[in-house]
Structure 1
Amino acid sequence: MTVECPDFETLKSRQRAERDPWPTSFGLRIHRAISWIKRAEQEKEDPAAAFLVLWIAFNAAYGGERNTVGERDAFETFFHRLCRLDGAKRLYDIVWNDYPGPIRLFLENRYVFAPFWAHVHSEQGAHDWQERFDAAKRRFHRALRDLDTVAVLSLVFDRLYVLRNQLIHGGSTWGSKVNRDQLRDGAAILSSIIPVMIDLMMNEPDSEWGLPMYPVVEG
Structure 2
Amino acid sequence: MTTALHYEALKERQRNLRHDFPETMGLRVHRAISWIGRAEQCGNDEDARFIFLWISFNAAYADETDFQGTTISERATFINFFNKLAQHDMKEKTIYTALWHRFSGPIRTLMNNHYIFHQFWQHQNGMEGFENWEETFQTSTRSFQQAFQDGNVSKVLRFVFDRLYVLRNQLVHGGATWNSRINRHQVRDGAAILAFLMPLFVQIMMANPHENWGRPFYPVVD
Q: Quick check: 1:194 aligned with 2:198?
A: yes
- The 10-residue stretch of structure 1 (60-69 or 44-53) with the greater mean CA deviation from structure 2: 60-69
Q: Distance in 1 between matches of 2:213 and 2:179?
A: 37
Matched with 1:69 is 72
Q: CA deviation at 1:78?
A: 1.1
Question: Percent sequence identity over matched residues?
Answer: 48
Alpha-carbon RMSD: 1.3
| 1:5-24 alignment, distance < 5 Å | 5-24=4-23
Check conservation: 1:33, 1:56, Cα contact below 8 A: yes
Q: Distance in 2 between matches of 1:84 and 1:13?
A: 25
Match of 1:24, as an amino acid? Answer: E
| 1:75-114 alignment, distance < 5 Å | 75-86=78-89, 87-114=91-118
Q: Which TM-score applies when normalising by structure 1?
A: 0.94
- The 10-residue stretch of structure 1 (14-23 or 61-70) with the greater mean CA deviation from structure 2: 61-70
Matched with 1:146 is 150
Q: Which runs of 4+ in 1 moved over 6 A?
A: none
Q: CA deviation at 1:52?
A: 0.4
* 3-state DSSP of counterpart to 2:211: coil
Q: Which TM-score applies when normalising by structure 2?
A: 0.93
Matched with 2:35 is 36
* 3-state DSSP of counterpart to 2:154: helix
Runs of at least 5 residues in structure 2 that lack an aligned partner in the other structure = none
- The 10-residue stretch of structure 1 (124-133 or 184-193) with the greater mean CA deviation from structure 2: 124-133
Matched with 2:48 is 49
Q: CA deviation at 1:64?
A: 4.3
Runs of at least 5 residues in structure 1 that lack an aligned partner in the other structure = none
Q: Distance in 1 between matches of 2:181 and 2:154?
A: 31
Q: Distance in 1 between matches of 2:20 and 2:93?
A: 27
Q: Distance in 1 between matches of 2:21 and 2:157?
A: 27
Structure 1, residues 51-73: CA drift from partner, whole Å, max 9, x if none?
Answer: 00111111111124324422222
Check conservation: 2:79, 2:158, Cα contact below 8 A: yes
Check conservation: 2:106, 2:189, Cα contact below 8 A: yes
Check conservation: 2:65, 2:72, Cα contact below 8 A: no
* 3-state DSSP of counterpart to 2:20: coil
Check conservation: 2:5, 2:200, Cα contact below 8 A: yes
Q: Distance in 2 between matches of 1:65 and 1:99?
A: 32
Q: CA deviation at 1:21?
A: 3.3
Check conservation: 1:66, 1:212, Cα contact below 8 A: no
Check conservation: 2:38, 2:52, Cα contact below 8 A: yes
Check conservation: 1:12, 1:34, Cα contact below 8 A: yes
